[in-house]
């Protein structure tokens, strides 16, 4: 997945679900940057942006 170099698969799907749960399903306006941040933290890829 782009800059994070994440492979497609069930692990990524599960991480996205967890990020959405953390962010809040009821939140109407989900910002891409916040979801990317949550995925970055989940996969430990902070070095990509630092």
Close Cβ partners of 23 (under 8 Å, ≥ 6 residues apart): 30, 34, 35, 38
Which tokens sit at 22?
């953390």
Q: Quote the pLDDT of residue 1.
A: 62
- The CATH superfamily assigned to 2-49 is Jann4075-like (1.10.238.120)
Which tokens sit at 25?
């399903």
In tens, the pLDDT along 1-50 reads: 677 788 889 999 999 999 999 998 888 888 988 998 999 999 998 888 77
**Residue 37, Cβ density class (10 Å: 0-12 exposed, 13-18 middle, ≥19 buried):** middle
Which tokens sit at 27?
């939140």
Q: Quote the pLDDT of residue 4.
A: 79
Give pTM, 2 decimals: 0.76
């Amino acid at each position: 997945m782009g800059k994070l170099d994440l492979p497609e698969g069930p692990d990524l799907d599960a991480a996205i679900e967890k990020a959405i749960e953390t962010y809040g399903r009821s939140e109407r306006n989900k910002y891409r940057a916040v979801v990317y941040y949550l995925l970055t933290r989940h996969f430990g890829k902070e070095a990509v942006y630092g």
